[in-house]
Structure 1
Amino acid sequence: MDPASLDTAIAQLPRHRVGFYPTPFHALPNLSHTLGVNLYLKREDLAGPSAISGSKTRLAEFILGRALEEGVTHLITQGAYLTNFGLQLAAACISARITPILVLTRNVPQHGHLGEARGNYLLNQTMGVETHVIDVDGDIWTDLAAGARVADTIARRQSELEAQGRTVTVVGAGGAHPDGFVAHAQTFREMLLQSSDLGVELDFVYHTIGTGTALPGMLAAKLSLGHPVRIRSISINSYDEDSWVNPGTLVDRTRAVLETLGGPVPDDAVIRAELDIDQRFIGESYAVASAASTAAIRELARSEGIFVGPVYTGKGLAGLLDHARSGRLPAGSNVAFLHTGDTGNLFEIPEVVGAIGA
């Protein structure tokens, strides 16, 4: 598929525009000098509509585009109480005059009972978003009882609204929805155009992977265009074959995006061979600070005056820094890091943020 055909295929999809695109793409000269690679930052954290944003805004635009066509009045999603997707979806819903509802969980053994509103939860409260917080005792993705409580809450609220004549759409955690996966094909195209404008041919794209909503679109665009850049994913939760999101999930989502774009769809083995997921930077658990991510947040801030967050982007950046220093990134490589947001969580509890001020 040629670039013009890819752009046309994306432009024809339903979309409610919320963010400010293309997002900036720029060099990090000080950190590049330190690492011996040419490092660039793709600023999805500046997507808008507010100063605290991220890559989920793109997903929301395509999800809402379809929802508006279908007359949806309420949109329900789930996530951790500090969810980035929930925050960004809620903001996008407000702009589209669709009512957002968040069903959130808090891991009490890790984070304690919810007291003072902070971080993303505070921002959701400021917007007046309807939220339902469910205390859980562990990982909701492996605790079947906790998962059932969340599902029951969503189903009950959906039934109540539909009985009132409302039209409701439920979106999976992190924006896992068929209409959203295509969004980051556009992100990939922007990076190629912006790096070309700088006279740079990218060798690697790094990003943080959690619910697996950014990689399918980027990978579909890479395969459609036949671009040689290598995409490396640093995970913040398990990506084993039996995990709740796994390599097979990513292959299926990538294939679906390719079908949406109308280009050729390779064998699953070809897609799977593109996956490069490093699970060494998860730390103790999701949404728990690690020494490596805390150090990465400090290093970028003190090198460039730019902030990444403790739940997602700090751990992804920690992986990139390790790859550069261990030689997995060849010296002189042109490397883009996809800053997917998460800066609101810098104002969370110490167990999430870590000792970044040390």
Structure 2
Amino acid sequence: MDITQFDAAISKLPRRRVGFYPTPFHALPNLSAAYGRNFFLKREDLAGPSAISGSKMRLAEFILGRALENGVTHVITQGAYLTNSGLQFAAACLSAGITPILVLTRNVPRHGELGEFRGNYLLNKTMGVETHVINISGNEWHAPNEAARVTDTIAARKAELDAQGHKVLVVGAGGAHPDGYIAHAVTLREILEQSDAAGVELDHVYHTIGTGTALPGMLAAKLSLGHPVKLRSIAIQRLDDENRMNRGVIVERTKAVLATLGAPVPDDATIRAEIDIDQRFIGEEYAVASPESTAAIRELARAEGVFVGPVYTGKGLAGMLDHARSGQLPANSNVAFLHTGDTGNLFEIPQVVGPITG
């Protein structure tokens, strides 16, 4: 399909505008000179409506657009207590006149009991968002018994609101919802348009992958527009076949976005061949600082005065820079890094942030 058909398909979808789009796209000249690659940054962290934002705002716009059509009054979503998605959905809901509710987990053995308010949790409390914090004893991504506690809490609160006559929408962790997956098809379309305006033919787009809400849309845009750019994903959680989030899920979400666009849907093998996920930069655990990510945060800040975060974008940037150093990313490549946000977590506890001031 061509750009006109692509844009027409997007324009037909319900959308509640909250962010400021297109987000900026700019060169990183000092980092580029140091590595012999032409690095660019796509600034989803500047999406708005506040100074601390990120890529989930695009998801929220499409999800809330449909929610408003359906008369939704409350949105319940979940995540870790430092969730970027929860923060962005809360801000978008408030802007749209919908009441947000966050059900959050805190890994107590790793991060301790929740004491003082910091980072994203502080911002949620500043906005007056209703929060429910569940202390857990293991990794919230993988423990079924802990996940059941979250599910039960959401179900109980939804039942209360339903009984009061409200209409409630539940959105999965990371903003995972069918109405939102198309959002980052628009992101890649913007990147390609902005790079073309800059006279740059991109070879690669790097991003961080966790709950799998960005890659399906970008893959669908690449396939539907027939662009040769390669997408590379740096994981912050395991995405093997036995995990809840895996390549099969990405394939199914990509097919759904292509169908929504009205574009041809290739077979599963064709889509799988486009998925390139590097899981070597997860570190010890989700939301735990790694030496590579803290080094990458420092390096970008000192080279360009730009900040990425410790939970997501720092690990993604670490992966991209490692690929450049190892030659996996060829010299003189034109490379965009999708800055999906996470800067609020720079003000979290030391276990999350790591020794970035070293």
Give the TM-score normalised by the residue count of structure 2.
Answer: 1.00
Instruction: Report the Cα offset of residue 149 of structure 1.
Output: 0.6
5+ unaligned residues in a row in structure 2: which ranges? none
How many residues are aligned here? 358
2:55: which partner in 1?
55
Aligned to 1:341: 341
The CA deviation at 1:154 is 0.2
Shift in Å, 1:141? 3.0
> In 2, distance between residues paired with 1:287 and 1:206?
20
* Inter-partner Cα distance in structure 2 for 1:147 and 1:265: 33
Query: One-letter code of the match for 1:38?
Result: N
Question: 1:228 aligned to 2:258?
Answer: no
Displacement of 1:235 after TM fit?
0.2
C-alpha distance in 2 between matches for 1:241 and 1:65: 33
- Alpha-carbon separation, structure 1, partners of 2:144 and 2:217: 30
Report the secondary structure of 2:191's partner residue. helix
Query: CA separation in 2, counterparts of 1:265 and 1:271?
Result: 9
SS for the counterpart of 1:76 is strand
What whole-Å deviation, never above 9, does each CA across 1:291-343 have from its counterpart, x for those lacking one?
A: 00000000000000000000000000000000000000110000000000000
Local SS of the residue matching 1:20: coil
5+ unaligned residues in a row in structure 1: which ranges? none
Match of 1:249 in 2: 249
> Aligned-pair distance for 1:143?
1.5
Match of 1:36 in 2: 36
How far apart, in 2, do the equivalents of 1:199 and 1:266 lie?
A: 30
What's the counterpart of residue 317 of structure 2? 317
CA distance in 2, matches of 1:145, 1:92: 31
Given that 2:80 and 2:140 are in contact with CA atoms closer than 8 Å, whether structure 1 keeps it comes out as no
Q: Is the 8 A contact 2:89 2:100 kept in 1?
A: yes
Report deviation, 1:270: 0.3
- In the alignment, the residues of structure 2 paired with residue 84 and residue 90 of structure 1 have an alpha-carbon distance, to the nearest angstrom, of 10
**Partner Cα separation in structure 2 for residue 232 and residue 28 of structure 1:** 19
* Cα shift at 1:244: 1.1
TM-score, normalised by the number of residues in structure 1? 1.00
Match for residue 109 of structure 2? 109
Q: Distance in 2 between matches of 1:138 and 1:58?
A: 31
Partner of 1:196: 196
- Quick check: 1:6 aligned with 2:9? no
How many percent identity over aligned positions? 76
For residue 140 of structure 1, report the CA deviation from its aligned partner.
2.3
- Give the 5 Å matches for 1:21-32: 21-32=21-32
Q: Secondary structure at the match of 1:341?
A: coil
Deviations 1:5-26 (A, max 9, x none): 0111011100000000000000
Query: Structure 1 residue runs of 4+, over 2 Å off?
Result: none
